[in-house]
Amino acid sequence: MNEIVFVTHNKGKIASANKQMQGVNFKVFEYELEEPRSDDIKYISEYKVKEAYKLVNQPCVSLDCGFWIDELNGFPRAFVNYALDTLGLEGILKLMENKENRNCRFTECFSYFDGKELKQFMGQHPGKISKEILGNDTNKKWSDLWYIFIPDGNEKTLAQMTDEERETRRKINSVDSMKEFAKWYINQK
């Protein structure tokens, strides 16, 4: 199949794609796409992939993620960047002070568009919010939430884990949208 284009400026998303889309011929076009205001990540991902297609005129993929905190009625949902820019990790942890229910999840939508057909693949990664900011910086992270997100079945935040620990960590009830896309795309050959 022809090469597809992943239009993103997020280094962590690029690192994830390189790892999880093995067997898919893709290149990266570094560009920050405009993101519509919505809490529907499927809509945002569709909008972005269609904008990307207009930009490069080749089959494209786009990933959009949200973060749902159960105790906060799902906040910040698709407004992760806004929440991080305004509240920061400290503000999110302040909202979670003295809360017993620390359940949360990353939800993601990976969209493919070839100019005619739109295909979307949903992913989810459940976990808990730590009580403090923990871990080290890495070029593999795609969100500062890595410092407070402990994946289900694990004891460390993603930012505390080594590359090997992140690679081999238990993934309880996790579905990776990039892997789902790669399976579908490779079967199209």
Active site residues: 64
3-state helix, strand, coil in the chain (%, to 5): 35, 25, 40
Q: What's the sign of the alpha-carbon dihedral 15, 21, 25, 27? A: negative
Q: What's the sign of the alpha-carbon dihedral 177, 14, 56, 59? A: negative
Q: What's the sign of the alpha-carbon dihedral 25, 28, 29, 32? A: positive
SS3 12: helix
- And the tokens for 38? 């919505």
> How far is Cα 112 from Cα 120, in angstroms, rounded to an integer?
6
> How far is Cα 37 from Cα 47, in angstroms, rounded to an integer?
11
- Phi/psi for 133 (5° steps) reads -75, 125
